[in-house]
Amino acid sequence: MGTLTSSEEIRASHTAPLRLETWLGIPGSAKPKIYEQVFAAAAINSLSYWLEIFFSAGIAAFGLVESSPAVIIGAMLISPLMGPIMGTGLALAVGDVYLGIKAVLNLLASVTVSIAFSGFLVWLLPFHSATSEIIARTNPNLLDLGIALLSGLAGSVVICRGGGDGVTALPGVAIAVALMPPLCTVGFGLGSGLNLEIMGGASLLFLTNLVAIVASAFLVFLLVGLNTEEVQKVMAASRKDEPLARLLSHGPVTRMLATGGQLRWRVVMILILLASIAVPLGRALSQVARETRARGAVQDELKRMVPANALVSQQVSVGKDEIVIHLFSTVRIPDAKVAEARLNLMRRTGHDVQLSVDAVASKRELADLMERLVQPAHAVVAKEKSVAEIQKELLDKVSPAVTAIWPSSDAPIQDFNVIVGTSGITIAVRYQASKDLDQVPIDMVQQSLRSKLGLLDLIVRTERVRPARAPGQALDASDKRKRP
């Protein structure tokens, strides 16, 4: 099929002033083996490859649903996706269009199978609650691009120094750049009812890892100088009996296969891909930085407003344009002081701020409530407990009842608090759902809790949390509505 790169490129690689292979101690005789190993790792018809795809996709899907980091790491180690990705980088470095087509076809098929299989497994499950491991893979930023670039460089160097061995078995790189978990997160969004927010964020994370590894592999393979005459001979011999090569040899890409394309256009293509990924990731990183500064400002104001020993708990939600803060304190904070803190936060953060402070019961009132919930069999002399300890015991007593009664399959609970005040006992529940629950099920939950706990003055207050959304996606109007 002829040479796949121009003779000028080959001569330029021999006269390049910076020879990375010399620094890494890579002999010229190892270069054909490197190409052969990477070429084999991009095979489409390998049974072991597809078994590893199914195994890793299944393990990653269940690990994400169970929120188990250890299981997810195991899926990363099994995943063979590094093979076709490294093959794409090598194809760009040496101008091997055939290897590029083969690797990209393998990659597209692998991505499709992984998403479809994981989505099918999630669809079979009786529950579809987004766990912390799933949500963590839906908001990538520029830091993820940096991690992927460095990991791709490390993996390419390992392949070159090892003479091509272990293309798909790079444990450190596989863990640092999680390729299969983002795909299975997309599958979770598909199997749980076409959740576009989860699917969009996880897809961006996978594309970030993919583009960064390809770019890193392209750079390393190019600097190592793998486009030698010996490698050209191996390239020509590696596809003699492959049906895809015979098919392409009679098509319109024959000329491109013979020349490999000019190097500068391959470099431009890599740069365009990196830039297109970096733009949304940069916006996401800026958003993270703004949220971090906003949370720091909130903590500063809270320290000045509420005594440290009086603050029972706090809930801080930082949105794109709004900060919502709920405080629970054992002392009453004057309205003027609350208004002053709100204005200070608005000035420091540039966000609209909603600040509310609920005065909870004293230690004596909390202890009385505990006695109402569980009457002790005999008196026990115990050391005096703090407000936080009594509040935690109270939550532990109420938690089983709330968990058993709440309709978790439709609107899983994120967290809840028990507030004891002069007006009665309030259970503040934050749940995750794409739309507000109707008042009827909330009234049923309230009535059931009153009956189960024996607290006739109990009130249930709810607040909806929208599922994770893709970076840069605008909030719906319904996101800002909270149930009183």
Answer whether residue 19 is part of any domain: yes
Whether residue 214 sits in one domain with residue 195: yes
The residue among 261, 280, 299 that closes a domain is 261
The residue among 358, 375, 408 that closes a domain is 358
More confident site: 422 or 221: 221
Whether residue 415 sits in one domain with residue 351: no
Alpha-carbon dihedral angle through residues 352, 358, 359, 365, given to the nearest 10 degrees: -160
User: How does DSSP classify residue 252?
Assistant: T
Whether residue 445 sits in one domain with residue 411: yes
pLDDT digits 0-9 by tens, 181-215: 999 999 999 998 889 989 999 999 999 999 999 99
Answer whether residue 154 is part of any domain: yes
Alpha-carbon gap, residue 441 to 439, rounded angstroms: 6
**In the sheet where 413-421 sits, what is the strand order?**
413-421, 424-432, 458-465
pLDDT band per the 50, 70, 90 thresholds, residue 19: low
pLDDT band per the 50, 70, 90 thresholds, residue 10: very low
Alpha-carbon gap, residue 56 to 48, rounded angstroms: 12
Q: What is the mean pLDDT of residues 458-477?
A: 66
Answer whether residue 272 is part of any domain: no
Tokens of 175: 């863990």
Q: Could you tell me which residues come within 8 angstroms of residue 140 by beta carbon, excluding any fewer than 6 positions away?
A: 201, 204, 205, 208, 281, 284, 471
Task: Evaluate if residue 113 carries a pLDDT over 90.
Answer: yes
pLDDT band per the 50, 70, 90 thresholds, residue 5: very low
Task: Evaluate if residue 100 carries a pLDDT over 80.
Answer: yes
Whether residue 394 sits in one domain with residue 409: yes
Q: Which helix (H) or strand (E) holds 429?
A: strand 424-432
Answer whether residue 293 is part of any domain: yes
More confident site: 474 or 32: 32
Q: Which helix (H) or strand (E) holds 398?
A: helix 387-405
Task: Evaluate if residue 319 carries a pLDDT over 60.
Answer: yes
Whether residue 373 sits in one domain with residue 397: yes
Whether residue 367 sits in one domain with residue 348: no
More confident site: 54 or 243: 54
Give the pLDDT score at 213.
Answer: 92
Give the pLDDT score at 447.
Answer: 80
Whether residue 167 sits in one domain with residue 150: yes
Task: Evaluate if residue 55 carries a pLDDT over 90.
Answer: yes
Alpha-carbon gap, residue 228 to 409, rounded angstroms: 60
pLDDT band per the 50, 70, 90 thresholds, residue 107: very high
Count of domains forming the chain: 3
Give the pLDDT score at 11.
Answer: 45
Task: Evaluate if residue 17 carries a pLDDT over 60.
Answer: no
Whether residue 311 sits in one domain with residue 179: no
pLDDT band per the 50, 70, 90 thresholds, residue 172: low
The model carries a pTM of 0.66
pLDDT digits 0-9 by tens, 222-235: 888 877 778 778 77
The residue among 334, 358, 382 that closes a domain is 358
Containing structural domain, residue 329: 289-358
Whether residue 117 sits in one domain with residue 32: yes
Query: Per 3-state DSSP, what percentage of the chain is helix, strand, and coil (rounded to 5)?
Result: 60, 10, 30
Whether residue 380 sits in one domain with residue 244: no
Tokens of 148: 């992927």
Answer whether residue 175 is part of any domain: yes
Alpha-carbon gap, residue 60 to 76, rounded angstroms: 8
Q: What is the mean pLDDT of the chain?
A: 78
pLDDT band per the 50, 70, 90 thresholds, residue 255: low
Whether residue 375 sits in one domain with residue 231: no
Give the pLDDT score at 252.
Answer: 58
Give the pLDDT score at 476.
Answer: 47
Answer whether residue 247 is part of any domain: yes
Task: Evaluate if residue 455 carries a pLDDT over 60.
Answer: yes
Tokens of 479: 């996101």
Whether residue 212 sits in one domain with residue 151: yes
pLDDT digits 0-9 by tens, 344-403: 888 888 888 888 887 765 556 566 656 655 554 444 444 555 656 666 777 777 788 777
Alpha-carbon gap, residue 3 to 1, rounded angstroms: 7
129 neighbors 412 (Cβ within 8 angstroms)? yes
Task: Evaluate if residue 471 carries a pLDDT over 90.
Answer: no
Task: Evaluate if residue 122 carries a pLDDT over 60.
Answer: yes
437 neighbors 462 (Cβ within 8 angstroms)? yes
pLDDT band per the 50, 70, 90 thresholds, residue 483: very low
Q: What is the biggest distance separating any 2 CA atoms in the chain, rounded to whole angstroms?
A: 93
Give the pLDDT score at 231.
Answer: 79
Answer whether residue 274 is part of any domain: no
More confident site: 353 or 58: 58
